[in-house]
Structure 1
Amino acid sequence: MLENISGLYAAFMAKDARFDGRFFIGISSTGIYCRPVCRAKQPKVENCTFYLTAAEAEQAGYRPCLLCRPELAPGTSKTDATANLVYRAARMLEENCGDGQSLDELSGRLGCTDRHLRRVFTAEYNVSPVQYLQTCRLLLAKNLLTDTDLPVLDVAMTAGFGSLRRFNDLFKKQYNLSPTALRKQASKEKKQPSDVTLALGYRPPYRWEEMLSFLAGRAIAGVDIVKNSEYMRTVHIVATENKHVYGWVRVGHRPQKNALIVTVSETLLPVLPQVLARIRHLFDLYCDPGAVYQTLSSMNDIRPGLCALGTRLPGCFNAFEMAVRAVLGQQITVKAASTLAARVIDTYGTPIQTGIEGLTHVFPSPKDILALDGPIENHLGPLGVIAARASTIHELARAVVQGKIDFDLCAQPEEEIKKLMTIRGIGSWTAQYIAMRAMEWPDAFLETDVGVKKALDPYTSKEMLEMAEAWRPWRSYATINLWNSL
């Protein structure tokens, strides 16, 4: 429970979207909890209790507001949590809430004991990891019930509940409302049964066109495409019990709601939490643009407009795919790299049916690359990939399969950068770029990059590095702003 009541209540009264997701308000007169941006009638301050997370509000006995919908609130950014471990644990719980991962498995991935994780998690968020996981599942289910026409059984399974009975019992206990009753109350447009469309919130402003422009320039024919102000791509995720799941996603923008609208193919329901987590990462939905701009606004002293409020750091949906594309792009143009990647896809990608023009294949996995017979240059060389880069891609695939490189919310990105640089053919630029986009590393700076040099001309690399010290810990965002300025 948060104690600064007067300041938090003032933020609640202001309905300022910058505070969205940073705290939640339990209202004793109604028994519900709200986001700071809720437009319902303002409650009296004596009826308000403030909580750091939705899970904490639910454990205190409050139900989510049906008007402001707490499940749509943006999450916290990497530097918000005093303990990086807790931040990563929360993100992993959100991403894996549907697959039954145990706390012991989670703590193992984070390199600590489950006892230590419980202790630091509870100290930071005032709820246990299990309670946080329960709220993740309930809010995902609430989102599905409100925004889709999925059968209640499918909702329960997708959100990670072991049975329909358990889901119904817990939903009624926590929200004093059955899942079917909630669906009847929810006002929504009727959708086709095959559509699964959800909203993912963010903190405004969001420079959507700049994000689309970046992704469009690096799109791989057959895998992803930008069209009609939407981003679309194919998906391949390996679920529990080594089950391969294929499908597609489409992402649009609804600025009046401060949200992205995500439509996924019905085939992706078994891995929906992972898909949504990857979309949040790709579009940097955890970002606090105000905090980033506060540090980087000094860039505008160099040249007006060099840093723009609301600029996001483009992540990635498939870390290996992005890393391979980064290797292919060494010392050639962005367009040429896309051409090489498209050739790899045509030859070694897995064809899938999407019904969407331009989406035809999924990118080969690291195991697919290692399974190719004979020297790798014999396979990639005819596609125009020089032998040295083909060898680098092969060694990168081997490192990923053997678990030597960790792309997924790795605890120490700087250590992973060092590991990447032990692979022959991966230098500082490539390693920093991969960390920036695949590992959500906010503090990478590419002082040797041609675009960065052009944007900061006539400064030398040494002068740029010294200048960028003032931009920590957001140097990755500084890099994106410099590229956008061109």
Structure 2
Amino acid sequence: MKLDPNACYQALVSRDSRFDGRFYAGVLSTGIYCRPVCPARKPLAENCRYFANAAAAEAAGFRPCLKCRPELAPGYAWSDASQRLAKRAEECIRAGDEANLAELAQRLGVTDRHLRRVFTQQFGVSPVAYAQTQRLLLAKKLLADTAMAVTDVAMAAGFGSVRRMNSLFAERYQLSPKQLRGQQQRRQDRAEFRLSYRPPLDWQALLNFLAARAIAGVEHIAGGQYWRTVRIGYQGQVHKGWLRAWLGDGEVRVELSASLLRAVPPILAALRHLFDLDADPQEISLGLGTLPGEAGLRAPGAFDGLEMAVRAILGQQITVTAARTLAGRIAALGESCQDAPQGLSHYFPDAATLAALAQSQLGELGVIRSRSGAILALAGAVQQGLDLSPAADIDQVKEALMALPGIGPWTASYIAMRALHWPDAWPENDHGLKVASGCKTPKALAEAMAPYSPWRAYATHHLWSTL
């Protein structure tokens, strides 16, 4: 990404939140790099150097600011298909699923040499350097926001040992983890995290959309807060617990049950997708032109790809309310969540549990035969390695989905829009879109949606909001 020093400095001086996460400013006189919204006194223009990401700033020898905390900056939702491979690799790294370069390249279906070249061209650093910075920033976040022991922080951040974390902290930050914790206030009573976004954010509209589709026992929305149970695999273990999220003072706040503190990276990454916190409303608004809808309207992703995909199958040609009812019945087949807050009771069944069901069991819940067959086939495909996360290749996933019985273009596209969180995906031939746009045929609807590329997921939500 090419950065204009003059434009960056103006954004830095004015603390323009639209550029938060789009670049970082390294200050030569202090050796520190900051977000554009940093409250500290602004440096002279000639002392500033600009970087597209935190890893590039650290590779140049700068250490993160303790005031603006670069680890809290929002990410960036890419829409350029040519950058898809680099973006998929970044998704894996941000979710703490990078392992090593060879394994990451194998997961993405390319050679490690090709991945290193493409990633470095896009981010200015290698995947290994980028992942190392993400681990350091996560450890910094855990030290500041939780009372976790330093040993637990090292394990949760993926360092493998406290010695390795201490060594990198001394090398990069010129501080030990204990010294950094002493300089930053941390919560002793609970694990609370902050997720930044670029304003505006219509939090209530987001909750309304999720509430209409919330799965009973798994999700609960009340009082401006989102609650859900969490069962997630990370570092070879399954972590189970619950979370709640709410809007507070320009950030989304997240509380995790103590049982989930060893799985922070994939949980926070999933929430950023669910709430679409990496979106750039200004850029999207320019792409949508005069399309009706509020500027803060987001295109929600999904917390769990399989859960979302099952929900999409259940929603084929029936009302949102009816699909929600069926999803709640299926959720009740999952494991009970112990010590869950009010409104939560179960973890959504995993792929193995679903695949082991008989069609008759789903039929007893009210799921018709064609949809129960599709759900079982989907669960089997996920067991065999079908990836339903934002790190997946959208073309390969859609092709694999449409090869399954009972899944057509609408379902595959809806899954791509939400589970894979691709900004240009949209539910083809959707009835609601045809009503909102006045189009009568699939061809007319496709032609009407074409001008909104690469933001057709957002165009979908804007049109739906007018119904």
> TM class, shorter-chain normalised?
over 0.9
Asked if 1:448 is matched to 2:429, the reply is yes
Correspondence for 1:175 among 169, 173, 176: 173
- Which residue of structure 1 aligns with residue 455 of structure 2? 474
Task: Output the amino acid matched with 1:443.
Answer: D
User: Counterparts of 1:48-59 in structure 2 under 5 Å?
Assistant: 48-59=48-59
CA distance in 1, matches of 2:378, 2:80: 32
Say whether the 8 Å CA contact 2:89–2:391 is kept in structure 1.
no
Say whether the 8 Å CA contact 2:426–2:456 is kept in structure 1.
yes
Say whether the 8 Å CA contact 1:2–1:51 is kept in structure 2.
no
User: Counterparts of 1:52-67 in structure 2 under 5 Å?
Assistant: 52-67=52-67
Deviating more after overlay: 220-229 vs 159-168: 159-168
- Which residue of structure 2 aligns with residue 296 of structure 1? 288
Say whether the 8 Å CA contact 1:223–1:362 is kept in structure 2.
yes
User: Counterparts of 1:318-329 in structure 2 under 5 Å?
Assistant: 318-329=304-315
* Deviation of the 1:200 alpha carbon: 1.3
- Which residue of structure 2 aligns with residue 191 of structure 1? 188
Task: Output the amino acid matched with 1:474.
Answer: W
Q: Alpha-carbon deviations, 1:8-60, whole Å to 9, x = none?
A: 21221221111111110000111110011112111001110111111111111
CA distance in 2, matches of 1:80, 1:290: 17
Deviating more after overlay: 307-316 vs 18-27: 307-316
CA distance in 1, matches of 2:91, 2:241: 23
User: Counterparts of 1:131-142 in structure 2 under 5 Å?
Assistant: 131-142=129-140
* Deviation of the 1:3 alpha carbon: 5.7
Task: Output the amino acid matched with 2:205.
Answer: E
Deviating more after overlay: 175-184 vs 65-74: 175-184
- Which residue of structure 1 aligns with residue 351 of structure 2? 366
**Alpha-carbon distance change, 80 to 443 in structure 1, aligned in 2, over 3 angstroms:** closer
Asked if 1:263 is matched to 2:260, the reply is no
Asked if 1:202 is matched to 2:197, the reply is yes
- Which residue of structure 2 aligns with residue 384 of structure 1? 366
Asked if 1:416 is matched to 2:397, the reply is yes
User: Counterparts of 1:98-109 in structure 2 under 5 Å?
Assistant: 101-109=99-107
Say whether the 8 Å CA contact 1:293–1:308 is kept in structure 2.
no
Correspondence for 1:234 among 229, 232, 237: 229
User: Counterparts of 1:135-154 in structure 2 under 5 Å?
Assistant: 135-154=133-152
CA distance in 2, matches of 1:149, 1:418: 46
TM-score by length of 1: 0.92
CA distance in 1, matches of 2:301, 2:4: 34
Q: Alpha-carbon deviations, 1:203-242, whole Å to 9, x = none?
A: 111111111001100011110011111111011112344x
CA distance in 2, matches of 1:76, 1:158: 24
**Alpha-carbon distance change, 264 to 165 in structure 1, aligned in 2, over 3 angstroms:** same
Q: What is the number of residues matched between the two proteins?
A: 467
* Deviation of the 1:412 alpha carbon: 3.5
CA distance in 1, matches of 2:244, 2:179: 29
Alignment gaps of 5+ in structure 2: none
CA distance in 2, matches of 1:130, 1:96: 12
* Deviation of the 1:447 alpha carbon: 5.0
CA distance in 2, matches of 1:339, 1:485: 25
- Which residue of structure 1 aligns with residue 7 of structure 2? 7
Equivalent position SS for 2:290:
helix
CA distance in 1, matches of 2:138, 2:303: 20
* Deviation of the 1:2 alpha carbon: 5.5
Equivalent position SS for 2:193:
strand
Say whether the 8 Å CA contact 2:38–2:68 is kept in structure 1.
yes
- Which residue of structure 2 aligns with residue 343 of structure 1? 329
Equivalent position SS for 1:212:
helix
Equivalent position SS for 2:159:
coil
- Which residue of structure 1 aligns with residue 387 of structure 2? 406
User: Counterparts of 1:11-50 in structure 2 under 5 Å?
Assistant: 11-50=11-50
Correspondence for 1:462 among 428, 437, 443: 443
**Alpha-carbon distance change, 343 to 272 in structure 1, aligned in 2, over 3 angstroms:** same
Task: Output the amino acid matched with 1:400.
Answer: V
- Which residue of structure 2 aligns with residue 274 of structure 1? 266
CA distance in 1, matches of 2:273, 2:450: 25
* Deviation of the 1:464 alpha carbon: 2.6
Task: Output the amino acid matched with 1:320.
Answer: L
Q: Alpha-carbon deviations, 1:140-169, whole Å to 9, x = none?
A: 111111111111111111111111122112
Q: Alpha-carbon deviations, 1:258-308, whole Å to 9, x = none?
A: x21111111112221111111111111221111111011232xxxxxx232
Say whether the 8 Å CA contact 2:302–2:421 is kept in structure 1.
no
Say whether the 8 Å CA contact 1:2–1:50 is kept in structure 2.
no
Percentage identity across paired residues of the two chains: 49
* Deviation of the 1:410 alpha carbon: 4.8
Alignment gaps of 5+ in structure 1: 300-305
User: Counterparts of 1:107-122 in structure 2 under 5 Å?
Assistant: 107-122=105-120
User: Counterparts of 1:212-227 in structure 2 under 5 Å?
Assistant: 212-227=207-222
**Alpha-carbon distance change, 80 to 6 in structure 1, aligned in 2, over 3 angstroms:** farther
* Deviation of the 1:70 alpha carbon: 0.5
Task: Output the amino acid matched with 1:444.
Answer: A
CA distance in 1, matches of 2:119, 2:196: 24
Task: Output the amino acid matched with 2:317.
Answer: Q
CA distance in 2, matches of 1:473, 1:137: 31
CA distance in 2, matches of 1:40, 1:80: 34
Say whether the 8 Å CA contact 1:27–1:47 is kept in structure 2.
yes
Equivalent position SS for 2:87:
helix
- Which residue of structure 1 aligns with residue 243 of structure 2? 249
Q: Name the Cα RMSD after superposition.
A: 1.8
Equivalent position SS for 1:253:
strand
- Which residue of structure 2 aligns with residue 77 of structure 1? 77
**Alpha-carbon distance change, 90 to 412 in structure 1, aligned in 2, over 3 angstroms:** closer
Deviating more after overlay: 2-11 vs 433-442: 2-11
Q: Alpha-carbon deviations, 1:411-449, whole Å to 9, x = none?
A: 541342232122221122111111110111222233532
Equivalent position SS for 1:380:
helix
Say whether the 8 Å CA contact 2:73–2:196 is kept in structure 1.
yes
* Deviation of the 1:69 alpha carbon: 0.8
* Deviation of the 1:253 alpha carbon: 1.1
